[in-house]
Structure 1
Amino acid sequence: MTDETDIWKPGSFTKNFSWGRPSAGLSELHEIIRLGFNGEMEDVRRDEFRSRVRLTGRPDYIPINFFLFNNTVGGVDYLCADELVFQAINWDHSPRFDKLALFAFGLSLAGRWAGARKEQRRPALWANAYVRERVAGKLNWETKSVSADDIEGFVKSDPRYRAETTRKLATNLNYLFQGGRLKEMNTPRIERWWVDCLFLALDRIIEERLLDRKSTSPSQYASLLDDYGFMELTGKPTLEKRLAIKHLVQLYDACGGRQRFSEEATKERTTTLIPTVQHFLNDPRPRGAVHRTNPRVLKSIPPACAMLAKYAGFEDLSPDDLEEFDLEDFVKRRTQAALEKLKAENIEPNMTADELMKLMRGE
């Protein structure tokens, strides 16, 4: 949660990104994550990540201090493999990744590492506040007013901001909003990037609480998303989104949280919850989980989570079906299948369309 008394220090964010033009999105970040994690979904030592990135001559402080999550285990600093890393490793760079990465930045949960200052656990609270208080609160997600000048005016007038410069921070953040496609996040409908953001938020929130030795139960997931401003950071809130949160936290819990990236842990969880399961899928590619009540609630998951997704009320999609997923075609096929099932069971309507309309009108 953002403590309104926390001070805002931009730190290394005011330095040059060297990430190219905004039209390229956050493709440099995508490539750096792939390189730093060596294409593997496992926590990586912070120093190993940095050494891999240094070979390219690119700066690493922005990715590791603002976009990724840090943790110290046994005196060794690690970067956590979470939903942002999962998306970077398994899919080519896309607008979906850009919006997820921008959300990760705005959520501003970077963890802790040796030598880190207190404020570096929430390194971009000024960006978090700008989106939540200005974009969501004052502008109602009408993003036409978002600009470097508007950002500078916001941080300049806020006593929480403690730094000598505001212009460089404002221009850098505006650049990031462009590359991260902030304007495309203002959609009332559920899209795949939004679903990915929810999983990433839970990954980070739970890890953040563990740093303070706080356990988190599944019953807390929805309220914690509210506490950390998930809805405000991801566009206008709608009833569809609020209903989807209930289903998605169930899927997240069924898959074991961040343990979903551990094949051994996932198989053990599956056989515990579903003792009748005798085999697991061999295809290493991620699969899809789509909710039966709303096909827009579609989440990509590790293959070992397929049975767990069904356990949570989701329908399993093969890797090919996930990549080629067409919402309209999916609804048509489901409707046709339902009609065929009714026909096979000799279930027929017992009133005409006119009779039904009269009933609905209360006649």
Structure 2
Amino acid sequence: MAGGQTPGSFSKNFAWGHTGLRKLHESIRLGFADVLEPVSRKLWRSQSQIDNPGLDLIPVNFFLHNAAGQLTVDELVYQAVSQPYSLRFDRLALFAFNLSQVGRPPLKGPGRPAAWANEFVKEALWQNGVWRRSALAKPAMGAFLKTHIKGQSYWKCQTNYRRLFGLCGYLTGTSPTVNSGAADCQSAWKKDPVSAPKRDPSRRRARRIDPARGAGRGCAARRDRCPVGRSVWVQARFLKRQLSLPVSTISQ
């Protein structure tokens, strides 16, 4: 791809440690204050308890979409606020990152900071209906990202991106293909759709926002008029089917 992508804040080290993407789960939950309603970027950053002003933008890369100056609620946010942390959250986050269309930030930066990851999955990782393990090897991933990311930050992105696959348990094994779990989850979804979890009545009722229906109370937008486009609605449904997670009862 000519020119290459700008990776934005993802070239920085978020210091995930050995606890999976728990930091992402916690920062999303705190940033939204345990309420499933849109929040301004400024308020989210102040509430997320990520003290480093450069690192607090990294979680934003994982959201499927956002509006100007606002972070809206998608499937990943729903899972962080409504469900305890788990490996399934990690894998959902990776899928969301690969599909992210967060839009242009209010001041500066790339319009789609994870576009290079989407290209990697489509052009290198996903072949003939499966994930190829060879594409996740350091030399192969590095060679691809070097031609798809501007400047020398590609190697930092390679380290951070490959770390996500490791935290999700996708780097272990010797078979030529990687089992993402998508087929099993889709089969389970068809046989036994998952119901929304019961909420604690002592807590404020958290109204889940369907990205296809708008971002706030009383919003009459529908998927065909959604400012982020119908593709995001399709992607949100795809994520739910991929990982067979609890979903809302809002009609689709």
Correspondent of 2:47 among 52, 61, 79:
52
Rate the CA distance shift 1:175–1:137 in 2: closer, same or farther, 3 A.
same
TM-aligned CA deviation for residue 176 of structure 1:
1.3
TM-aligned CA deviation for residue 53 of structure 1:
2.4
Identity %: 32
Q: Is the 8 A contact 1:37 1:44 kept in 2?
A: yes
Distance in 2 (alpha carbons) for counterparts of 1:27 and 1:297: 17
| More helix, by proportion | 1
Unmatched segments (≥5 aa) in structure 1: 197-202, 208-213, 235-244, 249-295, 313-363
Residue identity opposite 1:176 in structure 2: L
Which residue does the alignment assign to 1:110?
102
Residue identity opposite 1:34 in structure 2: R
Unmatched segments (≥5 aa) in structure 2: 171-177, 195-209, 215-220
Which residue does the alignment assign to 1:61?
57
Where does 1:171-210 land on structure 2 (aligned, <5 Å)? 171-182=159-170, 183-191=178-186
TM-aligned CA deviation for residue 149 of structure 1:
2.3
Correspondent of 2:32 among 34, 37, 43:
37
Correspondent of 1:94 among 82, 86, 96:
86
Residue identity opposite 2:46 in structure 1: S
Distance in 2 (alpha carbons) for counterparts of 1:97 and 1:193: 17
Secondary structure, counterpart of 1:130 in structure 2: helix
By relative contact order (CA 8 Å, sep 6+), the higher-ranking structure is 2
Which residue does the alignment assign to 1:161?
149
Distance in 1 (alpha carbons) for counterparts of 2:84 and 2:224: 34
Secondary structure, counterpart of 1:41 in structure 2: coil
Which residue does the alignment assign to 1:301?
247
TM-score under structure 1 length normalisation: 0.50
TM-aligned CA deviation for residue 57 of structure 1:
5.3
Q: Is the 8 A contact 1:10 1:163 kept in 2?
A: no
Aligned length: 216
Higher Rg of the two aligned structures: 1
Distance in 1 (alpha carbons) for counterparts of 2:150 and 2:101: 19
Where does 1:334-345 land on structure 2 (aligned, <5 Å)? none
TM-aligned CA deviation for residue 178 of structure 1:
1.4
Distance in 1 (alpha carbons) for counterparts of 2:38 and 2:47: 14
- Asked whether 1:134 is paired with 2:129, we answer no
Distance in 1 (alpha carbons) for counterparts of 2:83 and 2:27: 14
Which residue does the alignment assign to 1:14?
11
Which residue does the alignment assign to 1:27?
22
Distance in 2 (alpha carbons) for counterparts of 1:116 and 1:180: 31
Distance in 2 (alpha carbons) for counterparts of 1:62 and 1:193: 31
Secondary structure, counterpart of 1:16 in structure 2: coil
Q: Is the 8 A contact 1:96 1:193 kept in 2?
A: no
TM-aligned CA deviation for residue 71 of structure 1:
1.1
Q: Is the 8 A contact 1:98 1:181 kept in 2?
A: no
Distance in 2 (alpha carbons) for counterparts of 1:193 and 1:36: 30
Distance in 1 (alpha carbons) for counterparts of 2:130 and 2:42: 41
TM-score under structure 2 length normalisation: 0.69
Secondary structure, counterpart of 1:97 in structure 2: helix
Q: Is the 8 A contact 1:71 1:113 kept in 2?
A: no
Q: Is the 8 A contact 1:152 1:170 kept in 2?
A: yes
Give the CA RMSD over aligned residues: 4.0
Q: Is the 8 A contact 1:10 1:169 kept in 2?
A: yes
CA offsets per residue over residues 10-36 of structure 1, 9 Å max, x none?
A: 122111112212xx2211100100110
Q: Is the 8 A contact 1:109 1:205 kept in 2?
A: no
Q: 31-40 vs 166-175, which deviates more?
A: 166-175
TM-aligned CA deviation for residue 111 of structure 1:
2.2
Distance in 2 (alpha carbons) for counterparts of 1:300 and 1:84: 11
Rate the CA distance shift 1:95–1:144 in 2: closer, same or farther, 3 A.
farther
Distance in 1 (alpha carbons) for counterparts of 2:166 and 2:150: 25
CA offsets per residue over residues 205-231 of structure 1, 9 Å max, x none?
A: 887xxxxxx97449xxxx948x97x98
Which residue does the alignment assign to 1:324?
none
CA offsets per residue over residues 97-132 of structure 1, 9 Å max, x none?
A: 111100111012112331144x32x21121111111
Secondary structure, counterpart of 1:171 in structure 2: helix
Where does 1:169-318 land on structure 2 (aligned, <5 Å)? 169-182=157-170, 183-191=178-186, 216-217=223-224, 224=231, 300-302=246-248, 305=249
Secondary structure, counterpart of 2:67 in structure 1: strand
